[in-house]
């Protein structure tokens, strides 16, 4: 068990992520890997949920209504928030409405695939519930509302969608590092997504060798994949900061449309991660995917090392 410091707000959130997550094994998808040698790759960008981490529900924010209600009740209780249990479905419904309203407002501003900010949504929801006397906050939460909101968001998300490092995660990153490959992230995410690395892998993304300039989280740009906003941001940073072109970059993700096809539209080489049937998204009825073949199909992260001709790190 990794020791986690509890002395700061972030360390307490990290401790909560560790408490709520336990080992998850990927479920084989039955897809055959296709691992030709790729030459000239200087950078690798990864998706997070379903690629670097096993995701219980397959992706961030996707689960059944019954699981949502149970997790919502447990999260409120864990934070010391008192409420009427029978009204929880109404709270969840309002959460969804606020999500849709926020995305629609961003769409009106011209963002092609809008991303919500979960902190703003929780803040608005709790404000409404307090104003209508439907909930009562604990004293610590009333004194530190921002900390309460973040704690509640973590308690809800990782009850609903626990995660665990994908097998081969750290050894694959070590091999990329030793091979002089720059690596980063483009992922649909919220503020709690980066906490997964420290909480479950024992090191921050920076400590694992991810280039900070190449780590792109959807919530920071208010757009989700397959938005061009995220991939253009990555391409610009690759070129202007690292002198790496898109065709020298490999994108690895579990969603054939939002990850792989989208990256290909920006000139990147692509690898479909098909290592877990929970999260594999093939979009077989989508025309953009039916005639499209990724450069690689892998079922284990370490297969990237073979394709790039790098030595394995054990």
- Give tens-digit pLDDT for 44-78: 999 999 999 999 986 655 557 889 999 999 999 99
Whole-number pLDDT of residue 143: 87
Domain boundary among the residues 160, 184, 203 is at: 160
Its pTM stands at 0.94
> Does 186 share its domain with 295?
yes
> Does 205 share its domain with 244?
yes
> Does 221 share its domain with 193?
yes
> Does 248 share its domain with 131?
no
Domain boundary among the residues 140, 160, 180 is at: 160
43 by DSSP, 3-state: which? strand
Query: Residue 216: is it exposed, middle or buried by C-beta count within 10 angstroms (0-12/13-18/19+)?
Result: buried
The CATH number assigned to the domain holding 30 equals: 3.40.50.1000
Whole-number pLDDT of residue 60: 55
Question: What is the average per-residue pLDDT within 102-111?
Answer: 96
Q: Is residue 290 part of a domain?
A: yes
pLDDT digits (tens, 9 = 90+) for 181-224: 999 999 999 999 999 999 999 999 999 999 999 999 999 999 99
> Does 186 share its domain with 264?
yes
Hey, what's the torsion of the CAs at 235, 239, 240, 241, to 10 degrees? 90
Q: Is residue 70 part of a domain?
A: yes
Domain boundary among the residues 160, 194, 219 is at: 160
**Segments forming the whole domain that contains residue 282:** 21-59+163-307
Please provide the DSSP assignment of 183-195 as one string.
EEEEE---TTSTH
> Does 168 share its domain with 283?
yes
Task: Say whether pLDDT at 117 is over 80.
Answer: yes
Q: Is residue 11 part of a domain?
A: no
Task: Say whether pLDDT at 79 is over 50.
Answer: yes
Sequence-distant (6+) residues with CB within 8 A of 108 are: none
Q: Is residue 5 part of a domain?
A: no
Q: Is the peptide bond before 91 cis (omega within 30 degrees of 0)?
A: no
Evaluate whether 253 touches 272 at the Cβ level (below 8 Å): yes
Question: What is the average per-residue pLDDT within 27-56?
Answer: 97
* Angstrom distance (rounded) from CA 245 to CA 85: 54
Task: Say whether pLDDT at 1 is over 60.
Answer: no
Structural domain count, the chain: 2
């Amino acid at each position: 068990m990794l020791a986690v410091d509890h002395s700061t707000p972030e360390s307490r959130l990290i401790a909560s992520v560790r408490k709520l997550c336990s080992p998850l094994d990927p479920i084989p998808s039955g897809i055959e890997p296709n691992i030709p040698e790729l030459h000239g790759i200087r950078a690798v960008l990864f998706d997070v949920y379903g690629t670097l981490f096993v995701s219980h529900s397959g992706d961030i924010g996707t689960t059944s209504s019954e699981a949502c209600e149970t997790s919502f009740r447990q999260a409120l209780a864990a934070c010391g928030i008192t409420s009427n249990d029978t009204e929880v479905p109404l709270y969840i419904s309002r959460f969804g409405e606020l999500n849709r309203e926020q995305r629609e407002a961003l769409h009106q501003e011209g963002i092609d695939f809008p991303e919500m900010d979960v902190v703003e949504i929780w803040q608005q929801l709790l404000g409404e519930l307090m104003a209508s006397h439907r909930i009562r906050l604990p004293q610590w939460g009333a004194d530190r509302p921002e900390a309460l909101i973040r704690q509640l968001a973590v308690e809800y998300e990782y009850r609903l969608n626990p995660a665990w490092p994908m097998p081969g995660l750290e050894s694959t990153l070590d091999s990329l590092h030793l091979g002089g490959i720059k690596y980063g992230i483009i992922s649909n995410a919220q503020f709690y997504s980066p906490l997964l690395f420290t909480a479950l892998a024992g090191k921050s993304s920076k400590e694992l060798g991810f280039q900070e300039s190449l780590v792109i989280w959807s919530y920071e740009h208010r757009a989700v994949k397959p938005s061009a906003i995220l991939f253009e941001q990555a391409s610009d940073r690759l070129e202007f900061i690292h002198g790496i072109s898109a065709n020298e970059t490999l994108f690895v993700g579990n969603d054939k449309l939002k990850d792989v096809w989208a990256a290909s539209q920006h000139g990147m080489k692509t690898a479909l991660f098909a290592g877990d049937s929970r999260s594999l998204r093939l979009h077989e009825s989508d025309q953009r995917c039916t005639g499209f073949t990724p450069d690689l199909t892998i079922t284990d992260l370490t297969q990237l090392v073979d394709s790039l001709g790098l030595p394995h790190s054990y």
